[in-house]
């Protein structure tokens, strides 16, 4: 669905299109009609930025027991992967030494830019 709001309305209300979208997202989030993720997506910003806006407006983030349980399940599922990823101090030092000649492309690994872009998406 598309909603057309005349420019005259925005001028009369002394509000920009971006500010109106923000107010809509904040209102719907406060009424628990949309999630943090949905609001962030609607605004075209990441969730952390939306959380900062919520904090500046003193709007609490909805985080119920079920969401907490889901986060715990996710952490539990990832714990075994993390155990295998722990390195000894000697292994870490060895990897630091190897970095001097490390080229991701030679090992079919993504470059730093790709990793940063993926991280921003998350």
- Other C-beta atoms closer than 10 Å to the C-beta of 5 total 11
pTM of the model: 0.53
Inter-helix orientation angle 17-30/47-56, to 10°? 80
pLDDT of 39? 93
Q: Can you read off the two tokens belonging to residue 4? A: 């057309």
Counted residue by residue, the chain has a size of: 122
Each residue's pLDDT tens digit, 72-91: 887 777 776 666 666 677 77
The secondary structure of 51-89 as a DSSP string is: HHHHHHTTPPPP--HHHHHHHHHHHHHHHHHHHHH---H
Q: Nearest to residue 29, comparing CAs of 56, 54, 3?
A: 54
């Amino acid at each position: 669905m598309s909603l057309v709001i005349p420019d005259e309305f925005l001028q009369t209300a002394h509000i920009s299109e971006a500010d109106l979208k923000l107010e809509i997202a904040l209102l719907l989030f406060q009424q628990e009609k949309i999630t943090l993720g949905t609001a962030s997506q609607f605004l075209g910003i990441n969730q952390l930025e939306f959380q900062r806006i919520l904090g500046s407006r003193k709007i609490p983030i909805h985080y119920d027991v079920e969401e907490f349980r889901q986060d715990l399940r996710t952490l539990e599922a990832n714990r075994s992967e993390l155990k295998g990823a722990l390195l000894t101090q000697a292994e870490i030092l060895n990897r630091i030494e190897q970095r001097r000649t490390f080229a991701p492309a030679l090992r079919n690994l993504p470059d730093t830019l790709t990793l940063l872009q993926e991280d921003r998406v998350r």
